[in-house]
Structure formats: C-alpha cells, structure tokens
Amino acid sequence: MKTLETERLLLRLWSMQDADDLYEYAKNPNVGPNAGWEPHKDKEFSRNIIKMFIEDEVWAIEYKENNKVIGSIGLHEDRKRIRINGKMLGYVLSEDYWGKGLMTEAASAVIKHGFEEMNLNIISVYHYPFNDKSKRVIEKCGFKYEGTLREATRIFDGRILDDLCYSILKEEYEADKKLG
Ligand SMILES: CC(C)(COP(=O)(O)OP(=O)(O)OC[C@H]1O[C@@H](n2cnc3c(N)ncnc32)[C@H](O)[C@@H]1OP(=O)(O)O)[C@@H](O)C(=O)NCCC(=O)NCCS
C-alpha cells in the first residue's frame, strides 16, 4: 500500500501503535455516527478496527505537525456498484481538526491516486442527509450529485437513512485536471 503525502498530511498504513490515537477520536459520539458507525467503547474495539483497516488497505491520516493519527480514509468496495472498475471513498476525521480543509486535502490525494495509480473508471461517495460537512468536502473535491437513494442503509442504532449519492468518472477527473 502506497504512502501518500500532502502539504500537511501523511496517508500511511495503520499500525497497532495507533490504537490510542484512534480511540481518542473514535469514542467521540460526534464522529462515527455521522459515518454510520458506533462510537468505540474501549481500546480493544479500536485495536480490532485497526486489524480491519490493515486488511482493507485503509490509510491512517497522520498530521505532520504533531505526528498524531487524526483520521482514516479509504477506497472501499462499493456495494451499490458490483463488478465494475470502481471504488467508494470513505473518511473520518477527529473533531479537534475539523474545519481546516484537512479532509478535502486528504480526499483530493486519494482521488488522484485512485485514477492515476489504480486506474479506476469511477469513484463514488455517499453521505447521510444531515451531514452538511461531508457534503461540502464532496462538493469541494469535484464530485457530481447523482441523486438520493431513499431508505438505503440501516445504521448501528437501527435508524434507516437515505444515501445522497455522488461520483466522479475518470474522464471528468481528466477534464478537470486539464482545466487546472
Ligand atoms: C466530514 C468531515 C470529514 C469533514 O472534515 P474537515 O476536514 O472538517 O473538512 P473540510 O474542512 O475540508 O470541509 C468542511 C466543510 O464543512 C463546513 N462546515 C463546518 N461546520 C459546518 C456546519 N455545522 N454546517 C455546514 N457546514 C459546515 C466547513 O466550513 C467546510 O466548508 P467550507 O470549505 O465551504 O467552509 C468531518 O467533519 C468528520 O470526520 N465528520 C464525522 C465523520 C463523517 O461525517 N464522515 C463522512 C461520512 S460520509
């Protein structure tokens, strides 16, 4: 798995030593539920999630200024689009670091990697109706809104939520790149 570097961030492989950093931000009830998952109950839970991240090649987001892991980002299988050359973007950031443009910076690097190194044809991303911050990241990264899949997901607490669906095609990425 390739390490990606941006101005302020290193996107790199997770290690079990990151469990304290992960637990610190993932126990916060303002973080996971916005992405559909339960706040971490204890460090053991965080350690198990790290094992899954390593298996699924999810990047740890390390803040270069203090070498702390402050989030995660990955290109996952899109269960709404099977047997195509595409991936679904997913991401989470520690609340302490919101509003500084960090996720837009990380997501742009991952999108570039997806199209230029992995040769994907499409990258999709989804957010729940109440998640205006994620919506802004998605817009700033140049995704196109496709529509809303109603009652698409049942999350950990039993709520059934709509998915607002977005994607970028490789040709759109290339055209935007030419425009600069
Ligand atoms: C969504 C998330 C990753 C955004 O990360 P971030 O680094 O703060 O993102 P950015 O700073 O690049 O952009 C955030 C945007 O939301 C805006 N924003 C901040 N608070 C907001 C609010 N209460 N309502 C609406 N927009 C808000 C910011 O102003 C910014 O937009 P702008 O550039 O137009 O000013 C982060 O909030 C998070 O991890 N949330 C919890 C998990 C999650 O939702 N994951 C995504 C699941 S789809």
DSSP string, 125-151: EEE-TT-HHHHHHHHHTTPEEEEEEEE
Tokens of 75: 């290109």
Q: Is the distance from the beta carbon of residue 98 to the nearest atom of ligand 1 less than 6 Å?
A: yes
Residue to probe by mutation, ligand 1, list 69, 108, 133, most atoms within 8 Å of CB: 133
State the pLDDT at residue 129.
Answer: 98
- Which are the contacts of 16, defined by CB distance < 8 A and separation ≥ 6? 47, 50
State the pLDDT at residue 172.
Answer: 97
Residue to probe by mutation, ligand 1, list 63, 95, 136, 161, most atoms within 8 Å of CB: 136
State the pLDDT at residue 179.
Answer: 83
Q: What ligand 1 atom has the least distance to the C-alpha of 30?
A: 41
State the pLDDT at residue 1.
Answer: 86
* Alpha-carbon gap, residue 109 to 130, rounded angstroms: 26
Q: Is the distance from the beta carbon of residue 108 to the nearest atom of ligand 1 less than 6 Å?
A: no
State the pLDDT at residue 180.
Answer: 73
Ligand 1 center–CA 92 separation, angstroms: 10
With a cut of 70, list the residues of the chain below it in pLDDT: none
Burial of 8 (0-12, 13-18, 19+ CB in 10 A): middle
Q: Taking Cα atoms as reference points, which of 129, 156, 161, 159 lies closest to residue 145?
A: 129
Parallel/antiparallel/unpaired status of strands 86-93 and 9-13 = unpaired
Ligand 1 center–CA 64 separation, angstroms: 20
Ligand 1 center–CA 150 separation, angstroms: 23
* Alpha-carbon gap, residue 63 to 6, rounded angstroms: 10
